[in-house]
Structure 1
């Protein structure tokens, strides 16, 4: 029995399930953790009000949760049951990241009734999406991508207000982030053969991760450069 226990421990330790996917989003996780105090201190130095500070905090926390959950799922190969739980958490946190990215924009740019309504819509959709993933995490990838992309572009409901409330530079960075997320979602769903396992530990899924990180970076620039100033 003791020998069997040692064998199980040896199997669990040191084995990273998906090295490329784990590494990419571990970088994202570390960056989110390190840049959270940087953003919040910068916002405070710029005289940000309470709503701005709350929005920035939610945005950074959503990134930490998403990249942390993704790193955990792609790192550990514990058991079928545990892996499924980690997968659920990974997919559920995507909804949190989307809603978290909306939060500072709704609280600082839109404000008022438009901002509050849009914020309620996206967080309501996030809750529904998380319940959906809790119940059917093994749904086809294209279903997940359609849901994520559609939720990400709910902002078109407030497009006139966004254009009016953001500078040209801020709007373009915000748009670039949305486009990176969208292209990443398409890559995730389609699994283009040209990218699949082209390099060891780096294929379609890892490329999807890189696009997600690029989207997060674009939105971080919006928060740091434009919304805090």
Structure 2
């Protein structure tokens, strides 16, 4: 006949192990559930929609540009639309996934870097097609040089204040002031309006991003000032896509 104390000890150990197994399963389920949930739903969904829209719009712009003799138009438009896809893709990925601290930090850096890529990509057709010549090439090298500098800053200092990031983005976006007279001469009033309108919308979005207006953040936990900033970015992209498709590609 087995010893009662040993039997009790075995039963207790078995119960404890069963409890640990149950807890481990519960933890695994919790992790799995967290892994497949969106980290920032509002931000992830808005820029995922932006990425899908850019992918759908890409072939129409590229095919139209390919019908123009020479390579400048098609190369410029490919750079423009790829910069847009990269920005929205990087943003949607960063705001969707909640992985390790190191991976999240890398995704955040890429997300911020792609803003400089989008700005430079949007300038590319303007520099090479609208402005052209030596001045157009100068502007092209200038904006891409600023973009590379911004990318390096984000690689080394991702925790910089939001106001500093906004100053970089907005300042780079308005480098076109150097070509203000030339743009007025070369663009129709409607084309200039789409270009300027997109720039203004981007700027307003950047200001909202920098200020983090509390009024917006208090309305809904998943849709605050950052998500509104995302909508302004999308609206600015739409304006510049119309500008490229309807006017620049025909020049």
Normalising by the smaller structure, the TM-score range is over 0.9
Partner of 1:123: 144
| Matched ranges for 1:82-101 at <5 A | 82-101=103-122
The alpha-carbon deviation at position 200 of structure 1 amounts to 4.4
Structure with max Cα Rg: 2
User: Contact 2:35/2:99 (CA < 8 Å) preserved in 1?
Assistant: no
- Distance (whole Å) between structure 2 residues aligned to residue 99 and residue 178 of structure 1: 13
What is the DSSP-based 3-state SS (H/G/I as helix, E as strand, rest coil) of the residue aligned with 1:151? Answer: helix
SS in 1 for 2:165: helix
CA distance in 2, matches of 1:44, 1:121: 26
Verify: 1:196 aligned to 2:217, yes or no: yes
Is residue 214 of structure 1 aligned with residue 247 of structure 2?
A: no
In the TM superposition, 1:47-126 aligns within 5 A as: 47=68, 49-126=70-147
Gaps spanning 5+ residues in structure 1: where? none
8 Å contact from structure 2 (residues 35, 98) kept in 1: no
Higher RCO by CA contacts (8 Å cutoff, separation 6 or greater): 1
Runs (4+) of structure 1 exceeding 3 A deviation are 2-9
Task: Give the direction of change, closer, same or farther, for the CA distance of 1:124–1:147 in structure 2 (3 Å limit).
Answer: same
Q: Give me the whole-angstrom Cα distance separating, in 2, the residues matched to 1:128 and 1:111.
A: 24
What is the aligned-residue RMSD (CA, Å)?
1.7
Cα shift at 1:43: 2.4
1:191 Cα offset (Å):
1.0
Q: Retained in 2: the 8 A contact 1:12–1:78? A: no
Compute the displacement of 1:202 (Å): 1.0
**Aligned residues of 1:62 and 1:93 also touching (Cα < 8 A):** yes
* Gap regions ≥5 residues in structure 2: 1-20
- The answer on 1:10 being equivalent to 2:36 is no
Q: Give the aligned length.
A: 228
TM-score, normalised to structure 2, is 0.87
